[in-house]
Amino acid sequence: MTSLWIPFILVASLLQVARNAMQRGLTAELGTVGATLIRFLFGFPFAVLFLLIAFAATGETMVLPSSAFWPWLLVGALTQIAATGLMLMAMNMGSFVVATAYIKTEPILAALFGFAFLADALSAWKIVAIVLATLGVVVTAIRPGGEKAFGDLKATSVGLASAATFAFSAVGFRGAILAVQGVSFVTVATFTLTMGLLLQTLVLLAIFLPFSYLMDSLTYRAFQRRLNRNKTG
């Protein structure tokens, strides 16, 4: 049972790379906010489904979490929105692979933030494993002639900022999970995921829909002006 995390991690890693690549492709059509919204909006129904499956499989139910749960959830959800937006910006500034390498410094930062904010233990072996994993990502990202992309200061700053906010997000969600007692980790983790996606979707819709309406209105008015000039000309 304890070794089940290995196949889950492998599958999740492959799917994450594929998702990031597809999400990057949406940025040109929807903008950074729109492409960020897609991740949470379309993920939410699946999270609800997984939560129902968790309830059915464990026989557990969720009571309203304590007040300590909600601030951690808010930190996790909002910083993940910012991290996703920064990630898409970094990927569109240069190499997808190099941007991914910077973003994958997240485990080191998450371990440090977890130690600082949640008093998570950091053994010597954990530190060695985190450093080796991060070095592996960086090494695989370096291709012949690709090392020049690592010298782009702007892309570097945005990529590292994305990694830092992803790390804060991980700490926020972990803090929310630790604040709930009396149910299995599967149930509370799935519940936290669902609530986080709901919050993220509502926040981004509140930003994206008015902005989209404004841009559509401006575009329509500009089109009408050109049409009227053509008629009078």
* Between 170 and 214, residue with greater pLDDT: 170
**pLDDT surpassing 50 at residue 96:** yes
For 181, other C-beta atoms within 10 Å of its C-beta total: 8
So what's the pLDDT on residue 199? 94
**pLDDT surpassing 50 at residue 1:** no
The rounded mean pLDDT for the chain is 79
171-192 average pLDDT score: 91
What percentage of the chain exceeds 70 in pLDDT?
78
120-129 average pLDDT score: 82
Reported as a pLDDT band with limits 50, 70 and 90, residue 200 is very high
Which has the minimum average pLDDT: 71-85, 133-147, 210-224?
210-224
Reported as a pLDDT band with limits 50, 70 and 90, residue 47 is very high
Reported as a pLDDT band with limits 50, 70 and 90, residue 206 is confident
Query: 105 exposed, middle or buried (CB, 10 Å; 0-12, 13-18, 19+)?
Result: buried
* Between 187 and 21, residue with greater pLDDT: 187
**pLDDT surpassing 90 at residue 52:** yes
Reported as a pLDDT band with limits 50, 70 and 90, residue 55 is very high
26-39 average pLDDT score: 75
133-160 average pLDDT score: 66
